[in-house]
Amino acid sequence: MVGDLSKENQMLRKDVDGLKLTLLTKRNLKEQAVEKTLALFSFLDTPISRNDVAHFKQVLTKNGVKARVTLKPEHKKQILTTRSKKGKLTLRNTECGDADSRIFVDEELTKETYQLFKHSRQLKGVGYKYVWHREEKILARRNDGSDIIFIRNE
């Protein structure tokens, strides 16, 4: 009985992690976050509607309240491609405000992958210039001309 419940619990956790893989998270927008989200993705040539917003959460920080908006996965690949072409996103250059605050559009990571990514960022202190994640994979590179390495574990 306990073994069956444990197996079922593990299967449910895998299902939840699988669902997280398909979500996008946008962080660091304050007031009127949903309207600004719609405007941001219009700027990214990916018009979305309110129906594409899966989850909205406000987070209290030292500098005030920040919003986290999680979107449904339908436009994920197009959004990530366009985001990388547009460069750094700020409130000013996306016409969502007049401040130079950064806007972050990232993939939602599972708990385990986020912990690995957090740990992997310490590689910057030992000669790696870039550490990033893409499609649930943690990647690193020493410099612009070096090979990309795939980080699987600590």
Three-state SS for 20? helix
| Domains in the chain, CATH or no CATH each | 2-107 (3.30.70), 111-151 (no CATH)
Q: Are 125 and 112 in contact (CB under 8 A)?
A: no
Q: Which residue has the higher pLDDT, 147 or 135?
A: 147
Q: What is the value of pTM for the model shown?
A: 0.59
Mean pLDDT computed over 49-77: 77
Given the structure tokens 């304050």, which residue do they identify?
30
pLDDT band at 30 (very low <50, low <70, confident <90, very high): very low
- The helix (run of H) or strand (run of E) holding residue 62 is none
Please give the Cα distance from 153 to 128 (Å, whole number). Answer: 17
Cβ contact 79:57 at 8 Å: no
Q: What count of Cα atoms within 13 Å lies in the side-chain half-sphere of residue 74?
A: 10
- Identify which of 69, 126, 135 has the alpha carbon closest to the alpha carbon of residue 96: 69
| Token pair recorded at residue 122 | 């310490």
- The string of DSSP codes covering 121-147 is GGGGGGT-SEEEEETTEEEEESSTTSP
The per-residue pLDDT for range 115-132, each reduced to its tens digit, is 998 888 888 888 888 888
Cα separation values, 6 from 15, 17, 39, Å:
14, 17, 44
Give the mean model confidence (pLDDT) for residues 55-59. 75
